[in-house]
Homo-oligomer: A and B are copies of this chain.
Amino acid sequence: MKDTENIFAILRAKKMRLTKTRFAFVTLLSESPTPLSVSDILSILQTKGIVVDKTTVYREIERFIALGILEEVSLGDRKKYYELASEHHHHLICLECNRVEDIDIDESTLVQQEMKVNREKKFQILKHSLEFFGLCNKCCV
């Protein structure tokens, strides 16, 4: 996980300004244990007393993805979620309460198969999305 100082260093290097919105945005992302949607981000910022327009949030996300700081995650619903770029990992999503948990799995056989596809099919796999759905301990009666 990139720590916040590291991120601010990247921003400085790119001559990006340190606005208070941006500061709060970085802090919020680094503190969140789960991926956040734009509406999540807006409401968290609001509770911190920072009123931002959704356009700003969408544009900030765009910039951070371009810099490789943020990653987009699909969790099965209509929204996009975002988390700081980090060690490649996946998620457990509870179908009942929507809680999201990180999970590390051994992808070696998956990667082997991807390489096989790259060789044999004429399709070059660049990334994959792998998410697990089920019931968390609270919802699993």
Mark A residues whose CB is within 8 Å of B.
74, 76, 78, 80, 92, 94-95, 101, 103, 105-106, 109-110, 113-114, 117-118, 121-137, 140
Taking CB as reference atom, which chain B residue is nearest A129? Answer: B131
Structural contact, B133 and A131, CB atoms closer than 8 A: no
Given known contacts A113-B106, A117-B103, is B134 in contact with A126 (CB within 8 Å)?
yes
Q: How far is the CB of A73 from chain B (nearest CB, A)?
A: 10
Q: How far is the CB of A132 from chain B (nearest CB, A)?
A: 5
Our pick among B95, B101, B129, B133 for the contact of A133 (Cβ within 8 Å) is: B129
Chain A interface main SS type? strand
In the assembly, how many copies of this chain are there?
A: 2
Q: How far is the CB of A34 from chain B (nearest CB, A)?
A: 14
Contacts of A133 in B (CB 8 A): 125-129
List 20 contacting pairs A-B, 8 Å CB cutoff, sorted by A.
A74-B76, A76-B129, A92-B121, A92-B123, A92-B125, A94-B123, A101-B123, A109-B110, A110-B110, A117-B132, A121-B137, A122-B137, A122-B140, A123-B135, A123-B137, A124-B134, A126-B133, A126-B134, A128-B133, A129-B131
A126 vs B118: C-alpha distance in the bound complex, in angstroms?
Answer: 29
A135 vs B122: C-alpha distance in the bound complex, in angstroms?
Answer: 9
